[in-house]
Structure 1
Amino acid sequence: MNQKKIGLLVMAYGTPYKKEDIVPYYTAIRHGHRPSDEQIADLARRYEAIGGTSPLAELTQAQANALEKRLNEQQSVYTFKAYLGLKYIHPLIEDAVQQMHDDGIDHAVSIALAPHYSRFSVQAYTDRAQKKAEEIGEFTMTSIKSWYDQPHFIDFWVRSVKDQLAKIPEEERDQTGVLFTAHSLPKKILKNGDPYPDQIRETAEKIADQANLLHYTQAWQSAGKTGDPWLGPDVLNQIRTLFQQEEHFKHFIFCPIGFVAEHLEVLFDNDRECRTLVESLGGIYHRPQMPDTHPLFIDALASTVLNTFE
């Protein structure tokens, strides 16, 4: 019996592949408005600080490949073929959907490499994929909205936090705070009841509960530099607040639960800016590895995809 071929549209934000991509990439993010020379210099400086380019492009492709492999190992009814579709750089979401059609596929599942749903983020990916599928015709796209509470995903972070705690002297663990962070979004999302902040909070609470954390908090990071107010508290302000409290935290474990791979926002915003502030205040910075292609994380994605066929 021939297995039905299913397209697997793995959607992500994308990242510059090389230094020359920085200006067109950020121009696309800004809807065609080129960043100022000062902004470009700042962006280039950030990328240089993490080695010149972000590892995100390579990691995103590796995640898509690992997910395709795992799905084909776990069942024998379908043959999954992964296609990467990016928001702001090639291969674009629309190009990936077109390629699926050209390859003779008429049904696909789309999943964003972002656990938490927002109309501002994940829905924007989904709308583009669905629109292209409708333009093609005779092509159906099942879109996954979120997977922030998937047990394997939670378990990944529970184990990661526990691994970090195990490295801290036992007598200092009650002086340890865990900061769960996610990318901030404009506050205007709250007007329409966007579930994003609640989903972030629920993920943090599930991890904290299962890891039996004594002290944890949640903060926002990497807010855009726009005139609009963004969700807070900002992680840097939250670090200062924690240092002013009576507990006198010594260790700070950073868990960027809104992200799924090592990239600029983690390697620079966390590992440089947060670390610098923590250490300047006399604390010790800790940060687990990101999910990347960890088997638990790939299992989380695979289970989420297979659930759409039940």
Structure 2
Amino acid sequence: MEYDAFLLVSFGGPEGPDDVIPFLENVTRGRGIPAERLAEVAEHYRHFGGVSPINAQNRELLAALAEELPRAGIDLPLYWGNRNWEPYLSKTVAQMRDDGVRRAIAFVTSAYGSYSACGQYLEDIARARAEVGPDAPHIDKLRHFHDHPGFVLPHADAVKAALDTLPDRTPERTRLVFTAHSIPTSMDATSGPDGRRYSTQVRETARLVGGLAALELAWDLVWQSRSGPPQVPWLEPDVNDHLEALAADGVRNVVVSPVGFISDHLEVIWDLDNEAAETARKLGLNFARAATPDTDPRFVSMVCDLVRERIDPAAPRAALGCVPTWDVCPRDCCPAPRRAGS
């Protein structure tokens, strides 16, 4: 397949105090989230000056790719579009059209399947193309990468580094805790052809990272950043509840590894570095949070691998695990959740 552009597709985030509420209104539009809840979440952003780290992280990733893609023999102009904030995806697709791009390859900043992590981004791309019109470039999304060495190995090395900061790592008193963004259980149940794609992929990543980082230690997979109404079942347990259970069982040393994320954006630095760390402090736990891949050279090289795979079907396909991925999602894959009253 021949392509003439590379497109980074991401979530977006506010870049100043005045952006916070409009950004959150974009994120929650149509979901019936009360204003008081938006105000509560807005305070998380204002704790960091109203700036989400995610846009800066995407700029750094693009800068790294601008150097690495040519070294890999891939000569493509780079573009970037977000779902919820500038640069908006529709504006980027319009710019691509104006620049003469006919077929682009898209890297989405999520390693996993599910509606929110994959299907919604496919909808974003389709909507942006529809807004631009019949001359919009065709855009192909790259595959999931939950078990690619360029994603797994940086996480594993980060767990090792975090373990080294603990004053004690006696196996029976030390636990690895892997986290990812919680989603409704109904969304997880319909998130792919295997019936449990999101949670299955995340658990596979946790298994791989745990085995490479500290085979002698027990590990758990828990969830974070729930945002839905309490009557709707979401993936559990929550990381804070799990820390309480571990402390009650005599665990005293915990490394939390956010394997659900590629970079330290707000849901990592607030939900883990603030809330979970405070829970651990109150419980008397020694707590260390492992880093995410961000612009680790292996992660940047992984993106190049994924592009090369798509350009050349004969290129080797790197994978450490046994939960399959695929290039093109089935038509009925990862359906949108049903909203209340729909």
* TM-score when normalising by structure 2: 0.82
- Counterpart CA distance in 2 for 1:124 and 1:40 is 21
CA deviation after TM superposition for structure 1 residue 291, in Å: 1.8
Residue 221 of structure 1, aligned match among 200, 210, 224: 224
Task: Describe the SS at the equivalent of 1:136.
Answer: coil
Moved more, 43-52 or 208-217: 43-52
Task: Describe the SS at the equivalent of 1:83.
Answer: strand
Residue 153 of structure 1, aligned match among 151, 154, 167: 151
The aligned amino acid for 1:122 is C
> Which runs of 5 or more residues in structure 1 are unaligned?
none
Whether 2:298 is the aligned partner of 1:296: answer: yes
User: Paired residue for 1:99?
Assistant: 95
Moved more, 63-72 or 130-139: 130-139
Inter-CA distance 123–207: structure 2 relative to 1 (3 Å threshold): same
- Counterpart CA distance in 2 for 1:92 and 1:34 is 23
User: Paired residue for 1:116?
Assistant: 112
Residue 52 of structure 2, aligned match among 47, 51, 54: 54
User: Paired residue for 2:321?
Assistant: none
CA deviation after TM superposition for structure 1 residue 168, in Å: 3.1
Residue 9 of structure 1, aligned match among 7, 10, 14: 7
User: Paired residue for 1:139?
Assistant: 137
- Counterpart CA distance in 1 for 2:124 and 2:35 is 31
User: Paired residue for 2:28?
Assistant: 30
Residue 259 of structure 2, aligned match among 239, 257, 273: 257
Whether 2:279 is the aligned partner of 1:281: answer: no
Query: Residues 176 and 255 of structure 2 are in contact (CA less than 8 Å); yes or no, is this contact kept in structure 1?
Result: yes
User: Paired residue for 1:196?
Assistant: 198
- Counterpart CA distance in 2 for 1:119 and 1:44 is 24
Query: Residues 111 and 144 of structure 1 are in contact (CA less than 8 Å); yes or no, is this contact kept in structure 2?
Result: yes
Query: Residues 10 and 85 of structure 1 are in contact (CA less than 8 Å); yes or no, is this contact kept in structure 2?
Result: yes
CA deviation after TM superposition for structure 1 residue 68, in Å: 3.1
CA deviation after TM superposition for structure 1 residue 89, in Å: 1.2
CA deviation after TM superposition for structure 1 residue 119, in Å: 2.4
Residue 19 of structure 2, aligned match among 11, 15, 21: 21
Inter-CA distance 86–303: structure 2 relative to 1 (3 Å threshold): same
CA deviation after TM superposition for structure 1 residue 35, in Å: 5.6
Inter-CA distance 97–161: structure 2 relative to 1 (3 Å threshold): same
Query: Residues 110 and 126 of structure 1 are in contact (CA less than 8 Å); yes or no, is this contact kept in structure 2?
Result: no
Query: Residues 10 and 83 of structure 1 are in contact (CA less than 8 Å); yes or no, is this contact kept in structure 2?
Result: yes
Work out the percentage of aligned pairs sharing the same amino acid: 27
Q: How many residues align?
A: 303
Query: Residues 5 and 81 of structure 1 are in contact (CA less than 8 Å); yes or no, is this contact kept in structure 2?
Result: no
Residue 242 of structure 2, aligned match among 235, 238, 247: 238
Q: Deviations over 1:22-67 (max 9, x none)?
A: 1111111222578644334322321233344222211112112212
The aligned amino acid for 1:99 is Q
Query: Residues 257 and 291 of structure 2 are in contact (CA less than 8 Å); yes or no, is this contact kept in structure 1?
Result: no
User: How large is the Cα RMSD of the aligned pairs?
Assistant: 2.2
Inter-CA distance 171–224: structure 2 relative to 1 (3 Å threshold): closer
Higher helix share: 1
CA deviation after TM superposition for structure 1 residue 132, in Å: 4.0
Task: Describe the SS at the equivalent of 2:77.
Answer: strand
User: Paired residue for 2:327?
Assistant: none
User: Paired residue for 2:173?
Assistant: 175
Q: Deviations over 1:215-254 (max 9, x none)?
A: 1110010011325221111111111121222xx2221111
Query: Residues 163 and 288 of structure 2 are in contact (CA less than 8 Å); yes or no, is this contact kept in structure 1?
Result: no
- Counterpart CA distance in 2 for 1:54 and 1:128 is 21
Whether 2:162 is the aligned partner of 1:164: answer: yes
The aligned amino acid for 1:244 is A
User: Paired residue for 1:271?
Assistant: 273
Query: Residues 181 and 235 of structure 1 are in contact (CA less than 8 Å); yes or no, is this contact kept in structure 2?
Result: yes
CA deviation after TM superposition for structure 1 residue 171, in Å: 5.8
Moved more, 126-135 or 87-96: 126-135
- Counterpart CA distance in 1 for 2:117 and 2:49 is 27
The aligned amino acid for 2:241 is N
The aligned amino acid for 1:102 is D
